[in-house]
A and B are shown apart, each in its own frame.
Chain A
């Protein structure tokens, strides 16, 4: 008598007791103790495996994850190209305002009566403007990180 193969036994187990395609295999199990033992071992294995404990998800897990996802979503919004344009617009506006103020100070030395500003000061102002653009942009981008 040929024994049932592991594959046949497992196919039987996976759909047992609804399986009606293997009447011969079931008939064989009635007569062959070796195959029956193997079949029963697979059944116990499945039951044991299904009852293997997996600990519950820690409390508040979903809340923590949603908060993290929301946080990342905000960051992603800040790093989008539209926000980069906004960042540069803000940086340039601040710089233009500051430089206008400085130029106004140069042109109207009354407000700072005892300080003489040399012509090279304009170049210095330009350098300060560049530095300011850089600093403002960096601080705005660090806000989004």
Chain B
């Protein structure tokens, strides 16, 4: 039976139920970890930051006015926490996990495969160098499928600012990627 977030929060606040806590963490862990990872690009740091996010969340859960919006709330804490971690980071620390991305398209032409890997790693490289707010906006928009309004609420920004940043960052990424994409389109 699917229990919604609001009931789980109610159960946790009323009984301090461990199972409700576990269910809430399990439900949102991937989004929170994903947000932290997109900013920090380091698994260990992202895990630590994600753990902090949940602890902060449960510490002040009773202050949450709209329990149905817990995901947005968690992601806003995740954004701030990850940014804090990023700023505190020692300069010598590795910024990027050097783990090759799996190739999903089996049986594809090896040259095409190689081009796809190159294109994805270039995209990753450009993305990593982007402003962290823009990167988070893109992350929420594409990976969490959030609307501009929801992103604005999550990141505590105005809707128009999110709209402009989203447009600019996508255009910036497209311009950087265009030589590869045009080649891909002409094949």
Q: A40-B181, A41-B185, A54-B34 are in contact. Are A62 and B26 (CB under 8 A)?
A: yes
Q: Which residues of B contact A57 (CB under 8 A)?
A: 29-30, 33, 47, 50
**What is the size category of the interface that chain A forms with chain B?**
20 to 34
Q: Does B18 contact A66, Cβ atoms closer than 8 Å? A: yes
Task: Please tell me which stretch of B1-9, B51-59, B87-95, B153-161 contacts chain A, meaning at least 4 of its Cβ atoms lie within 8 angstroms of it.
Answer: B51-59
Instruction: Check B167–A10 contact: CB distance below 8 A.
Output: yes
A61 CA / B25 CA spacing, docked (Å): 9
Known: A7-B167, A70-B21. A37 touches B54 (CB 8 A): no
The size of the chain B interface, using a CB distance under 8 A, is 45
Does B174 count as interface, using CB distance less than 8 angstroms? yes
A41 lies within 8 A of B50 (CB): no
* Most chain B CB atoms below 10 A, which of A37, A38, A44, A65: A65
Complex formed: what's the CA distance from A81 to B30 in Å?
37
Which chain A residues numbered 51 to 81 have a C-beta less than 8 Å away from chain B?
A: 51-58, 61-66, 68-70, 72-73, 76
24 CB contacts below 8 A, A to B, read: A7-B167, A10-B170, A40-B181, A42-B170, A42-B174, A45-B170, A45-B177, A45-B181, A48-B119, A48-B123, A51-B104, A55-B99, A56-B30, A57-B50, A61-B29, A62-B25, A65-B51, A66-B21, A68-B55, A69-B21, A69-B25, A70-B16, A70-B21, A72-B55
